[in-house]
Amino acid sequence: MAETGFKDQIAPFLSKLPAVKRPEKHVHFKKKLMWTLGILVLYFILSNISVFGLSTQSTDVLSAYRAILGGAQGSIILLGIGPIVMASIVLQLLVGAELLGLDTSEPKDQAIFQGLQKLMVFVMIIVETLPQIVGKMLLPDPALATKLGISNDVLLAIIFLQVVVGGILILYMDEIVSKWGIGSGVSLFIVAGIAQAMVGGIINWNPPSPNLNMGLDVVASSGGPNIPIGLIFRWEWLISHVGLSNLLTGQGLLTLIGAGELLVLPTTIAIFLLIVYVESTRIEIPLSHAAVRGARGKFPVKLVYASVLPMILVRSLQSTVGMFGMLLSRSNIPILSNLGSFNDYGHPVSGLWFYINPINGVNDWVPQFAASAYPGIPYWQIGLHVLVDAFILIAGGIFFAIFWVETTGMGSTRVAKQIQKSGMQIPGFRRNEQVIEKVVSRYIPKVTVIGGAFVGLLTLLSSLFGVLGMINGTGMLLAVSITYQLYEKLASEQIMEMHPLMRKFLGEE
């Protein structure tokens, strides 16, 4: 009764939240494509609009997570998809723990769930922006404030409003893609940001920002801060400043591996091929229709059954913890401020925050390079950092894979119900929901755990060696996997466009 009362009370309020109208009839494939491309162009425009009044001395606390959170440093959408992902995590946990009493298989409860998720995103936008303002990570430009004749606090309030508006824009852009476009806006923004970074990782001739440590004394002595980001121009810079003969020595090889990112290109290619192979690896459970003789099908159980979503959840959680860690380190509370320290560029260099910070390439764990990035740190702490990140990725991958499968209707019980409702059955077995569930339970739980662990391990390996554009292993994993799924979605949309009966059969119209 209490649960019903809660639903009846919250439903009218949630229905008043601004929402993108859902299409009343089928949206043509070309129109979906146009909506998707339009939102993509808008995303790139917003990522190049700087926050008015923001000082260049501001700290980008999300720099290590840009590959999965999207957005751009100093832009109006600097929060990226972080609030959407964190809202999803919190709400899914509440639903999974049955604290809200919602059954997402029911249309009414599903509408309430979507409304609560949107409300939670609004809350998360403020929750993720305020600590950056209060913790002085986002700083106003004093010269501009003086020029405008306003105080720094007023300019800071203007900055806060811009970041909040940017977060709201990302929310509704995602909703437009989900309802009128192809796939989801979250996936689209991730791929767009990573693709932009990868192109820059090849042809960008600009030097990186000062907070990116190259980790090599030989490069620093040769004017290291001026080394270009792009791989092509970086190698040209090393040959002209360090010398080809010096690069062919033992120390020169270390220079190529560290500053020259020699391992980045082969790692990127290897990870790309491996992910494509894994995405196509699946167990197919044969199905036949109980009433229509000769009608057969297959239920595919992919090796990466929960997709790469566990890694988005793991890294998003890390980013939020890291952001609050920086805020706590600057507090005056002794116990909290002693949990770890950060350098001037917002990178954790000691304590708890150092260990839970993700590995981002060879400069974070190879002793010769890490000694420059973390002066005076013992080697055993660097090794422990790698082990902690490995545990977070693999254990987190398994946990969130199970969590995602069970809370999104991909578990054995829900799958069995779907197969039963569709009129299909497994050949050689009685057409009974419990029997179907028993058969699919042989595969789904095991594949979920194996897939979650494998995705975590794959992310770890690519993070250790780095990939193009400094997007880290998680970004590469997401980009390839999401692109592959988008390709499958495009193929599916085209098939349904050519065969209207197929669209009706799948409930799209």
User: What would the DSSP string read from start to end of 407-421?
Assistant: HTT-SHHHHHHHHHH
The architecture in CATH of the region 29-192 reads: Orthogonal Bundle (1.10)
Q: How far apart are CA 236 and CA 239, in angstroms?
A: 5
pLDDT in tens, 303-357: 888 777 788 788 878 877 887 787 777 776 766 667 777 776 667 888 888 888 8
Confidence of residue 7 (pLDDT cuts 50, 70, 90): confident
Helix (H) or strand (E) holding 341: strand 340-342
Domain-wise residue ranges, the chain:
29-192, 281-470
488 neighbors 469 (Cβ within 8 angstroms) = no
Residue in this structure with the two tokens 């720099």, named with its chain if needed: 63
Confidence of residue 506 (pLDDT cuts 50, 70, 90): very low
Q: How far apart are CA 75 and CA 435, in angstroms?
A: 54
**Residue (of 303, 233, 294, 287) closest to 261 by Cα position:** 233
pLDDT at position 29 is: 82
Confidence of residue 172 (pLDDT cuts 50, 70, 90): very high
Confidence of residue 169 (pLDDT cuts 50, 70, 90): very high
pLDDT in tens, 101-139: 777 667 777 788 888 889 999 999 998 898 888 878 888
261 compared with 167, residue with greater pLDDT? 167
**Residue (of 484, 497, 285, 464) closest to 382 by Cα position:** 464
82 neighbors 317 (Cβ within 8 angstroms) = no
Cα Rg, the chain, nearest whole Å: 25
pLDDT in tens, 10-47: 888 888 888 888 888 878 888 888 999 999 999 999 98
Q: How far apart are CA 308 and CA 300, in angstroms?
A: 17
Tokens, residue 430 = 């009685």
Q: How far apart are CA 160 and CA 367, in angstroms?
A: 40
Q: Can you give the pTM of this predicted structure?
A: 0.73
Q: How far apart are CA 201 and CA 230, in angstroms?
A: 4
Beta-carbon contacts of 427 under 8 Å, excluding residues fewer than 6 positions away, are: 286, 287, 288
pLDDT in tens, 81-95: 889 988 887 887 777
The DSSP annotation for 164-205 comes to HHHHHHHHHHHHHHHHHSSS-HHHHHHHHHHHHHHHHHHH--
CA distances to 422, 436, 437 from 291, in Å: 11, 17, 20
Q: Which amino acid is at 236?
A: E
Confidence of residue 173 (pLDDT cuts 50, 70, 90): very high
Provide the edge-to-edge strand list for the sheet that holds 296-302: 296-302, 282-289, 424-425
When mean pLDDT is compared across 254-258, 321-325, 411-415, 470-474, the lowest value belongs to 470-474
Average pLDDT estimate for 455-461: 86
Residue in this structure with the two tokens 């092509």, named with its chain if needed: 232
